[in-house]
A and B are shown apart, each in its own frame.
Chain A
Amino acid sequence: MSAQPQRNVIANALAQIGEAGLFGLTLLAAVPRSMKHARETVRQLWFVGAMSLTIIMVCGLFVGMVLGLQLYYVLSIFGGTAASGTVVAIAIYRELGPVVTALLFAGRAGTSITAEIGLMRATDQLAAMEMMAVDPIAYVAVPRYLAGLIAMPLLCAVFCALGIFGGHLVGVTWLGIDNGTFWSNMTATVDVWKDVVNGIVIKSAVFGAVVSLIAVYQGYTTPPTSEGVAYATTRTVVASSIAILALDFVLTAFLM
């Protein structure tokens, strides 16, 4: 394979990241203008946040249950099942909670944001707003971006709660780990700032900002065709997934 196409792929990827960054600055600059559309932000918070609750809760529960099950069998080899609660909580708070929530959020809410804005462009709704002297960045893009930013940490908190409940359900209720040991080891080891705040607040907020930016950017800049919208939706999932996992490594390195 020649080096030229590889250079083009890398150059295109860098150009896209640069454009998305500039678009992000445009969004931030439009935040004050979008304040008069606060009702729209609340409406979007309902769509991307509340409507994602079911999938987040179900997935959180099962992730916690799987974790509880795996840990029980691994730790029982060493006679350390008492640490199960601690490991479940730390794994969920630090990594699984923010990362899996962000991946689910990208798949459920990110794609819907991209498809909705892309279809609004394809059907001239954004142009119609421009013609009605309504700024589509302030009315359409910023409310969805802010909604994603606000919803992610909240969804992550719900995911973590259900994950720990799932781990407790399997470890304590089904496999017989002592309830007091499960909770006391967890509360003694888990640090509010290092584990909970870093995971639920910082990582989730960063992931929320990035996934929402990618989703809004892809929708806003998609070619106004059905194929363009389909590709943009796919790109949202792919780019978000890569960004979440790459940023997770960077954030973990800094927050350790």
Chain B
Amino acid sequence: MTAPAAPVEPLVRIRGLTTVLNGKTIFDALDLDIPRGKVTAIMGPSGTGKTTLLKHITGQMRGDAGQVRVDGQNVPELSREKLFELREKIGYLFQNSALLTDYDVFENVAFPLRQHTKLPEVLIRNIVLTKLQAVGLRGAAALMPAELSGGMARRVALARAIVFDPMLILYDEPFVGLDPIALSQVLKLIRTLNETLGITSVLVAHELEAIKQVADQVYLIANGKVVAQGDPKTIANDGSPWTRQFFGGDIDGPVPFQYPAGDYAQALGLTGAKA
């Protein structure tokens, strides 16, 4: 009889993460797991700290308390050298693609290879063209970033993010501003990369319909905590006020319509006036 398999540790394990920025609590003892080989979506109202969470995972920011473990390493405790070693295994897709504007598409994708390896030019060329072929832009290798549409730029950034075959890819708002064709292309790429390369993916996004097509699980973050989690097809029906407002698009609810402000009558100078 074989022994039962040990439970697989999540690739990212966050425990008790607390972050306060400019007096505002962004995360309040946040707990969250990103399982290996899955596509996990992080959703939540604007300003709730979704991109900040990605920055914690990659060590661009450090919280005030708590642990952020990536592949067993506690990121806030890593030295800069160790952090850079870890980042070589992580792909990050920025919301605005963040392509290097001085370089053409080919050199953008080749950039990490040139910086971290001494591979011969022929090999670099083959790797870059393979990645560009995977995102459908081999023919655009000679174009400059300014010549690309938003969707093309995001696909080039994706090719750059996967050039080292990372264990983890973080997508920050990958669907924003895409037309339906580009959206379908990006969705297909995310799913294909996840399935063919076994990459763990984390998506920060607002678009539930797109998330339903691509994600295996969803976390809804609000008020500094995970307020709902589960299957993307059913999470909208879990009945909590947060999910009802967020997925229903209600104007008011746990997320107030009005930004916190002082007394309205006082602001208008009506205090003490007769009603």
Contact call A133/B88, Cβ cutoff below 8 A:
yes
- CB within 8 A of B58: which of A120, A124, A131, A135? A131
Given contacts A123-B96, A124-B96, A132 and B101 within 8 Å (CB-CB): no
Q: Is A226 an interface residue (CB 8 A)?
A: no
Give the interface of B toward A (CB within 8 A).
58, 60, 84-85, 87-88, 90, 92, 94-96, 98-101, 111-112, 115-116, 160
Q: Is A10 an interface residue (CB 8 A)?
A: no
Q: How far is the CA of A130 from the CA of B112 in the complex (A)?
A: 11
Q: Which residues of A contact B60 (CB under 8 A)?
A: 127, 130-131
Give 14 pairs: A residue, B residue, CB < 8 Å, sorted on A: A123-B101, A124-B94, A124-B96, A125-B100, A125-B101, A127-B60, A128-B98, A128-B99, A130-B60, A131-B58, A131-B60, A132-B160, A133-B116, A134-B112
A3 CB to nearest B CB, Å: 30
Contact call A127/B111, Cβ cutoff below 8 A:
no
Given contacts A133-B116, A134-B115, A128 and B85 within 8 Å (CB-CB): no
Number of A-B residue pairs at CB separation under 8 A: 47
Give the interface of A toward B (CB within 8 A).
119-120, 123-125, 127-128, 130-135, 139
Given contacts A132-B111, A132-B115, A127 and B98 within 8 Å (CB-CB): yes
Determine which residue in A120, A124, A139 has the highest number of CB atoms from chain B within 10 A of its CB, and name it: A124
B55 CB to nearest A CB, Å: 9
Q: Ordered nearest first, which 9 A-B pairs have the shortest CB separation?
A: A128-B98, A124-B98, A133-B84, A131-B92, A133-B87, A132-B112, A133-B88, A124-B94, A134-B115
Contact call B94/A132, Cβ cutoff below 8 A:
no
Q: Which residues of A contact B99 (CB under 8 A)?
A: 125, 128
User: In this complex, what residue of B is CB-closest to A124?
Assistant: B98
User: In this complex, what residue of B is CB-closest to A135?
Assistant: B84
A80 CB to nearest B CB, Å: 54
Contact call A125/B98, Cβ cutoff below 8 A:
yes
Given contacts A130-B60, A131-B58, A123 and B87 within 8 Å (CB-CB): no
Q: How far is the CA of A24 from the CA of B84 in the complex (A)?
A: 23
User: In this complex, what residue of A is CB-closest to B116?
Assistant: A133
Q: How far is the CA of A120 from the CA of B102 in the complex (A)?
A: 10
User: In this complex, what residue of B is CB-closest to A134?
Assistant: B115
Contact call B85/A127, Cβ cutoff below 8 A:
no
User: In this complex, what residue of B is CB-closest to A131?
Assistant: B92
Q: Which residues of B contact A128 (CB under 8 A)?
A: 92, 94, 98-100
Q: Which residues of B contact A135 (CB under 8 A)?
A: 84
A206 CB to nearest B CB, Å: 30
Contact call B98/A123, Cβ cutoff below 8 A:
yes
Q: How far is the CA of A125 from the CA of B157 in the complex (A)?
A: 11
Q: Which residues of A contact B101 (CB under 8 A)?
A: 119-120, 123, 125
- CB within 8 A of A132: which of B85, B87, B96? B87
Q: How far is the CA of A135 from the CA of B85 in the complex (A)?
A: 12
User: In this complex, what residue of B is CB-closest to A119?
Assistant: B101
Q: How far is the CA of A128 from the CA of B88 in the complex (A)?
A: 12
Contact call B87/A131, Cβ cutoff below 8 A:
yes
A147 CB to nearest B CB, Å: 14
User: In this complex, what residue of B is CB-closest to A36?
Assistant: B115
Contact call B98/A133, Cβ cutoff below 8 A:
no
Contact call A131/B96, Cβ cutoff below 8 A:
no
Q: How far is the CA of A135 from the CA of B99 in the complex (A)?
A: 16
Q: How far is the CA of A130 from the CA of B83 in the complex (A)?
A: 10
What would 4 more interface pairs be, CB under 8 Å, given A124-B96, A128-B92, A128-B98?
A: A120-B101, A131-B58, A132-B111, A133-B85
Q: How far is the CA of A120 from the CA of B100 in the complex (A)?
A: 8
Q: Which residues of B contact A131 (CB under 8 A)?
A: 58, 60, 87, 90, 92, 94
Q: How far is the CA of A120 from the CA of B94 in the complex (A)?
A: 13
Q: Which residues of A contact B92 (CB under 8 A)?
A: 128, 131
Q: How far is the CA of A130 from the CA of B54 in the complex (A)?
A: 14
B79 CB to nearest A CB, Å: 13
Q: Which residues of B contact A132 (CB under 8 A)?
A: 87-88, 111-112, 115, 160
User: In this complex, what residue of A is CB-closest to B115?
Assistant: A134
Q: Which residues of A contact B87 (CB under 8 A)?
A: 130-133
Q: How far is the CA of A134 from the CA of B87 in the complex (A)?
A: 10
Q: How far is the CA of A124 from the CA of B51 in the complex (A)?
A: 13
User: In this complex, what residue of B is CB-closest to A130?
Assistant: B60
User: In this complex, what residue of A is CB-closest to B160?
Assistant: A132
Determine which residue in A123, A124, A125, A128 has the highest number of CB atoms from chain B within 10 A of its CB, and name it: A128
Q: Which residues of B contact A120 (CB under 8 A)?
A: 101
Q: How far is the CA of A123 from the CA of B98 in the complex (A)?
A: 6
B224 CB to nearest A CB, Å: 24
User: In this complex, what residue of B is CB-closest to A47?
Assistant: B102
